[in-house]
């Protein structure tokens, strides 16, 4: 009898410690910081489009009652970002902006994050980042410094748009651009899935599946657009690395050898990248 009591106590203590210290992978009742620059010092169709498409993430956060700070346009500064991190201490950090392998900039090209310099502020947080290349070195620094998870892109994030009447040559309303939709919707699926309660790995799978959906759609319309979507899909990474289910990245195989960066565009499309 005494032995059973001891075993029961050990089991109970083990369960208690596991529940107390296990790594959280679902979205708790916490908060989010979202930063989305839209340049004002020069015409920049990439930040204009990207900032607007980020609104779908904020809309879902509102629908589930997740508190968030939205740093948009002139408010998308490094000072506001770090101040909000300190005051709100959010679990979820949603980043949009230009970048390279080891840095991300915010409003009007102000430095926001540099790997190994200030990426320690991401420790204990879940990060979704839409920037060129920062999913490589910067993400590695962030993870080594305690970031729970970082989804981004280890090469350029390339997208196509329809030519429009806006001075930057895009459409006046980016949300009405059916060409751009697949690129931003596919990325946004990841943070949206997390906000809705999905496990971290599943948010990556959901985004990959959405890329596959749009690749299939554009395969029958314009192979160039499908090729750019394939590029983004294959350069999307989640760190620490998640296992990719067999078959998820085998569709469609036809584009595996297309030289994506040198495909000429039709006159009605414009290829862009968040550089």
What is the Cα–Cα distance from 105 to 114, expressed in whole angstroms?
A: 9
- Domain locations in the chain? 27-273
Q: How much is the pLDDT for 120? A: 97
Q: Is the pLDDT of residue 23 over 80?
A: no
Other CB atoms within 10 A of residue 79 CB = 10
Q: How much is the pLDDT for 241? A: 76
Lowest mean pLDDT among 24-33, 74-83, 168-177: 24-33
> Sorting pLDDT into bands at 50, 70 and 90, what band is 117?
very high
What is the Cα–Cα distance from 188 to 181, expressed in whole angstroms?
A: 10
Could you give the C-alpha distances from 8 to 4, 15, 113, 270, in angstroms and in order? 6, 11, 49, 66
Q: Is the pLDDT of residue 14 over 60?
A: no
What is the Cα–Cα distance from 149 to 200, expressed in whole angstroms?
A: 8
Q: How much is the pLDDT for 263? A: 28
* CATH 3.40.50 describes domain 27-273: yes
Quote the tokens at residue 51. 């900032």
Q: CB–CB of 183/51 below 8 Å? A: no
Could you give the C-alpha distances from 23 to 99, 147, 164, 203, 234, in angstroms and in order? 29, 11, 47, 16, 27
**DSSP secondary structure of 72-88:** EGGG--HHHHHHHHHHH
pLDDT 10s digits, 248-269: 443 333 333 222 222 223 334 5
């Amino acid at each position: 009898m005494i032995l059973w009591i001891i075993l029961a106590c050990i089991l109970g203590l083990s369960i208690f410690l596991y529940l107390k210290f296990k790594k959280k992978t679902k979205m708790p009742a916490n908060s989010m910081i979202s930063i989305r620059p839209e340049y004002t010092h020069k015409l920049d169709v990439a930040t204009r489009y990207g900032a607007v498409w980020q609104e779908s993430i904020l809309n879902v956060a509102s629908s589930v009652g997740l508190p968030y700070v939205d740093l948009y346009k002139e408010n998308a500064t490094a000072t506001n970002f770090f101040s909000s991190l300190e005051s709100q201490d959010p679990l979820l950090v949603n980043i949009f902006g230009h970048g390279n392998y080891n840095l991300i900039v915010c409003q009007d090209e102000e430095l926001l994050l540099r790997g190994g310099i200030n990426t320690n502020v991401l420790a204990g947080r879940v990060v979704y980042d839409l920037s060129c290349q920062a999913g490589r070195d910067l993400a590695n620094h962030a993870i080594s410094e305690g970031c729970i998870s970082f989804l981004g892109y280890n090469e350029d994030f390339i997208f196509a748009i329809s030519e429009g009447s806006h001075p930057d040559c895009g459409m006046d309303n980016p949300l009405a651009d059916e060409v751009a939709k697949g690129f931003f919707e596919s990325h946004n699926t990841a943070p949206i899935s997390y906000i809705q309660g999905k496990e971290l790995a599943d948010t990556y799978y959901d985004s990959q599946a959405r890329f596959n959906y749009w690749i299939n759609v554009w395969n029958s319309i314009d192979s160039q657009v499908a090729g750019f979507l394939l590029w983004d899909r294959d350069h999307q990474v989640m760190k620490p690395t998640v296992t990719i289910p067999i078959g998820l990245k085998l569709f469609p195989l036809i584009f595996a050898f297309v030289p994506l960066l040198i495909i000429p565009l039709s006159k009605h499309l414009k290829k862009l990248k968040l550089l």
